[in-house]
Amino acid sequence: MNDKFHKSIEEQAKLHQLLSNPSRLLILCSLAEKEMSVGELAEVIGASMQNTSQHLRLMRDKGVLITRRDGQTIYYQIAMNEMGAKCKQMLTCLEHKNQLIYLEA
């Protein structure tokens, strides 16, 4: 196997490690619908603003999220790059799987 393939596998592993936290997955699912502020996301995921901010900072540092400032409020959204695209693809798979589970119940 070539170096490019190994690098791709390493990137996938890092992304999966980043998204192995349920709060981060909830954040991604929320941001798939619309951009949101820290306060809005904290309410949605049921966490403190400090804890939510830590998750957001990590995801932004890894290139999954980008920010937009409006006055004093910072809004987060999924990045329109390779990492963001991979996350959106994963969310689509999760949504499809959840629809199948719902249909079977």
> Hey, what long-range contacts does 89-98 have (CB within 8 A, 24 or more apart)?
90/19, 91/28, 91/29, 91/32, 94/25, 94/29
Rounded to two decimals, what is the model's pTM? 0.76
Domains, the chain: 3-104 (1.10.10.10)
Report pLDDT digits (tens) over 54-68.
Answer: 999 999 998 889 999
- For 6, 33, 94, the CA distances from 78, given in Å and listed in that order, are 25, 10, 16
Report pLDDT digits (tens) over 32-83.
Answer: 889 999 999 999 999 999 999 999 999 999 888 999 999 999 999 998 877 7
Percent residues over pLDDT 90 in the chain: 43
